[in-house]
Structure 1
Amino acid sequence: MTRPAETRQRIIAAVLRIIGDDGVAGVTNRRIAQEAGVSLGSVTYHFATQQDLLRESLRHFVTEETRRFADLATQNETVCADLDQVAELVGQVAEATGTDSERIAPYELYLHAGRDPELRAAAAECFAAYDKLAETVLASIGVKDADQVAGAVVGMVMGLKLRALATGTHTDDLVNGLLTLAKGALKE
């Protein structure tokens, strides 16, 4: 017998896959039930509305990303002593956030957050984790005012990652762009 928490997680995972494959418009209760391997009643039992589904899906993603990026920030507080190490870390992060449908889903949800104030708080948590990792890495290599530069770096990473997702290109552009930005920041 499946526990309620397990059913809920299967539903959320299905929502993220569906959003990644077909966008927010592709999310229907029937499709979620089929994708998650649960009854239609389970979907409506766990999530009263589509907005609840979207919010919880983004919150789930945010929780996982925040944990992952907080761990990376902690692991790399003293590890990134030079730009080569930063490039390696950025490459690892970029590759870990591949191009599968579940990695496309957050972009869809971030856009949806622009329309849904309740999603904005969850999106802000995720961006705060991204900023913290960027700040930690930038500070470790000697970038002045790393806290002020971090948001721009995160914006660039997100933009280049979106570009890679949209065009099917690799993460080399992302790594090279960040290295160029970091070298410029270190010259000051």
Structure 2
Amino acid sequence: MGSTEVRDRILAAALRIVGTDGVPAVTNRRIAAEAGVSLGSITYHFPTQSDLLRAALTGFVAEETTRLRDLAETYRDKGLSLEDAAALTEQVARDLDFSAERIAPFEIYIQAGRDPELREASAECFAAYDELTATILTALGVPQPESLAPTLVANIAGLQLRRLATGDAGQDISTAILQLVRGAYLPAP
């Protein structure tokens, strides 16, 4: 097993543990057992727990951003309207299962409030989501997309957190997006 594979297995195990039992459950012994790696390989790759959580969070977001960019690129030349983009966002949100790996970032974002060493990674993650959202808004012709993107990202993340916490998928993300974008920049249809 190569060094990159060991590192990837450690990160995947850490996300599963965080998503299943929270940050306090992350121990080197548990990660080693879950990842099927030696105990020493964890500290070799990640000297501190903050290093491990930072890498897990940024790795998750890098994969997620790539997935969402690829999806956006698929629809870029199809002449999507704002309504189409909002509906697509809603569909993507509904299609995501709340697996341990998808719950883990919420846990790590909250941990970043307690651990200043994680804040930079959290800021990088939100910046990636903001950039992706601004790119989509630009393609839709929304003026000043960089100023609206953080609000949309926060709204979508908040609604996803609400869905996770309540089990209620009743709030329609597409409606919220349309209200925000139209209210901020576009005349009503």
TM-score by length of 2: 0.85
| Contact preservation (8 Å) 1:73, 1:136 | no
| Counterpart mapping for 1:44-55 below 5 A | 44-55=43-54
What residue is the counterpart of 1:187 in the other structure? 187
Deviation at residue 156 of structure 1 after TM alignment: 0.5
For the residues of structure 1 that align with 2:170 and 2:133, how far apart are their CA atoms? Answer: 17
* Bigger shift: residues 107-116 or 72-81: 72-81
| Contact preservation (8 Å) 1:19, 1:105 | yes
Q: Deviations over 1:123-166 (max 9, x none)?
A: 22221221122222223333332221111111101110111111
Which ranges in structure 1 are unaligned for 5 or more consecutive residues? none
* Bigger shift: residues 65-74 or 94-103: 65-74
Q: Percent identity?
A: 52
Q: Deviations over 1:55-79 (max 9, x none)?
A: 2211211321232334344444444
Q: Secondary structure at the match of 1:187?
A: coil
For the residues of structure 2 that align with 1:149 and 1:11, how far apart are their CA atoms? Answer: 36
- Counterpart residue type for residue 132 of structure 1: E
Q: Secondary structure at the match of 2:154?
A: helix
What residue is the counterpart of 1:114 in the other structure? 113
What residue is the counterpart of 2:154 in the other structure? 155
| Contact preservation (8 Å) 1:94, 1:171 | no
Q: Secondary structure at the match of 1:62?
A: helix
Please, what is the CA RMSD of the aligned residues?
Answer: 2.3
Q: Secondary structure at the match of 2:186?
A: helix
Q: Secondary structure at the match of 2:98?
A: coil
Q: Secondary structure at the match of 2:162?
A: helix
- Counterpart residue type for residue 102 of structure 2: R
| Counterpart mapping for 1:120-159 below 5 A | 120-159=119-158
Which ranges in structure 2 are unaligned for 5 or more consecutive residues? none
Number of residues of Structure 1 aligned to a counterpart in Structure 2: 187
* Bigger shift: residues 20-29 or 71-80: 71-80
Deviation at residue 9 of structure 1 after TM alignment: 0.7
Q: Secondary structure at the match of 1:25?
A: helix
* Bigger shift: residues 146-155 or 80-89: 80-89
1:3 aligns with 2:7: no
| Contact preservation (8 Å) 2:50, 2:118 | no
Q: Secondary structure at the match of 1:186?
A: coil
TM-score by length of 1: 0.86
